[in-house]
């Protein structure tokens, strides 16, 4: 039995064969704390991925069959939205374990992100969690595999594992087009860090967000450092010190997500609306804007302004083909109306 985990969480876990804490312990920790957490929510109904086109797999982890629930791994589907405009959906699938991630899945996120970055006609990426096993709550990413973390026995091993989490987050941030997190259900620990690494976030009202690491004796690290920029330092302290859980509406009010909807159907509609808008924007301008946004995160206001001047100038490096073409629509429209 994991006595140190029980003490850290302040709970008594049910006995596990061979002393292992099952992967579902992340949501279990959240549920145990619910009575003291007025901000918590019960995860809502499972939402379909809403994808009907043929899959174009970029990468898949070495996977195993899990009945009719699908395969463990990272699956990529690319759809042509319109001529010269493609949208990719990257699905994290670990259906029997609430889509938790392990080293293999994290490595596959990196590979998939790098491969998608080579598509010049890509306009947006949607990151989502796959359907969970029937009877289990829906989940975006239920956290890092606790059984894998429990096997760590040295600082070097711990450093190697957490570096894989950072590498997956950074790979998503490095995708040259906006990455939209399509969130339905549990988003815990490493799952919340991966979500925070996306450019835009939409969730269902019954989704649950939490950073419960301190309850099992470890700090929240790596891309948890993005949270103060999203929700402020005070609310970050609440999430990390108190292991509070938030429902979707509270997450939107805090600034953790940009939009909240009622259910899976509305979630798909909202994601489609945003990808539709992105596909109408200048392809080079969007990529230029994302590069600039990343610079703004790590620079002073003065440096950010200077970087913006350079980005604006870069838009005309080829004589301004894209901006002049898009601006022509407005110029011509004004001339017709005058």
Work out whether the CA dihedral 69, 73, 79, 85 comes out positive or negative. positive
Residues in CB range of 102: below 8 A, 6 or more apart: 94, 144, 145, 148
What are the beta bridge partners of residue 209?
A: 187, 246
Predicted pLDDT of residue 91: 98
> To which CATH superfamily is domain 23-279 assigned?
2-enoyl-CoA Hydratase; Chain A, domain 1 (3.90.226.10)
Predicted pLDDT of residue 338: 62
Of residues 190, 180, 184, the one with CA closest to residue 207 = 184
Task: Say what the pTM is.
Answer: 0.79
Of residues 171, 172, 204, the one with CA closest to residue 271 = 204
Of residues 170, 128, 167, 165, the one with CA closest to residue 144 = 165
Which long-range contacts link 55-58 to residues 24+ away (Cβ below 8 Å)? 58/88, 58/111, 58/112, 58/115, 58/116
| Alpha carbon 61 to chain centroid, angstroms | 18
| Alpha carbon 117 to chain centroid, angstroms | 17
Residues 259-298 have pLDDT tens digits of 999 999 999 999 999 999 999 999 999 999 999 999 998 8
Check if the beta carbon of residue 68 is closer than 8 Å to that of residue 109. Answer: no
Residues 130-185 have pLDDT tens digits of 999 999 999 999 999 999 999 999 999 999 999 999 999 999 999 999 999 999 99
Residue 266, number of CB atoms within 10 A of its CB? 16
Helix (H, G, I), strand (E, B) or coil at 332: helix
Predicted pLDDT of residue 304: 76
Flag residues of the chain having pLDDT under 50.
1-24, 32-69
Predicted pLDDT of residue 19: 30
Helix (H, G, I), strand (E, B) or coil at 168: helix
């Amino acid at each position: 039995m994991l006595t140190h985990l029980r003490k850290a969480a302040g709970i008594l876990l049910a006995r596990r064969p061979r002393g292992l804490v099952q992967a579902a312990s992340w949501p279990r920790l959240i549920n145990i704390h619910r009575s003291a957490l007025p901000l918590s929510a019960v995860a809502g109904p499972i939402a379909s991925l809403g994808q009907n086109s043929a899959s174009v797999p970029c990468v898949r982890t070495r996977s195993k069959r899990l009945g009719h629930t699908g395969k463990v791994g990272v699956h990529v589907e690319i759809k042509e939205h319109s001529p010269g405009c493609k949208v990719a959906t990257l699905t994290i699938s670990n259906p029997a374990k609430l889509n938790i991630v392990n080293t293999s899945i994290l490595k596959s996120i990196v590979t998939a992100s790098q491969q998608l970055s080579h598509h010049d006609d890509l306009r947006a990426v949607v990151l989502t969690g796959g359907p969970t096993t029937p009877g289990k709550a829906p989940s975006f990413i239920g956290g890092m595999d606790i059984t894998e973390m429990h096997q760590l026995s040295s600082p070097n091993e711990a450093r190697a594992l957490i570096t894989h989490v950072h590498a997956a987050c950074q790979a998503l941030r490095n995708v040259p087009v906006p990455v939209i997190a399509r969130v339905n259900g549990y988003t815990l620990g490493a799952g919340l860090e991966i979500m925070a690494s996306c450019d835009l976030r939409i969730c269902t009202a019954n989704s649950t967000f939490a950073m419960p690491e301190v309850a099992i004796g470890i700090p929240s690290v790596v891309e948890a450092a993005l949270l103060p920029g999203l929700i402020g330092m005070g609310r970050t302290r609440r999430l990390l010190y108190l292991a509070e859980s938030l429902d979707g509406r509270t997450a939107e009010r805090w600034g953790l997500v940009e939009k909240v909807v009622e259910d899976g159907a509305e979630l798909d509609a909202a994601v489609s609306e945003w990808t539709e808008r992105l596909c109408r924007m200048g392809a080079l301008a969007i990529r230029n804007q994302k590069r600039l946004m990343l610079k703004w995160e790590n620079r002073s206001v003065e440096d950010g302004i200077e970087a913006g001047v350079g980005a604006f100038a870069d838009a005309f490096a080829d004589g301004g083909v894209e901006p002049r073409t898009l601006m022509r629509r407005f110029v011509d429209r004004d001339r017709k109306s005058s």
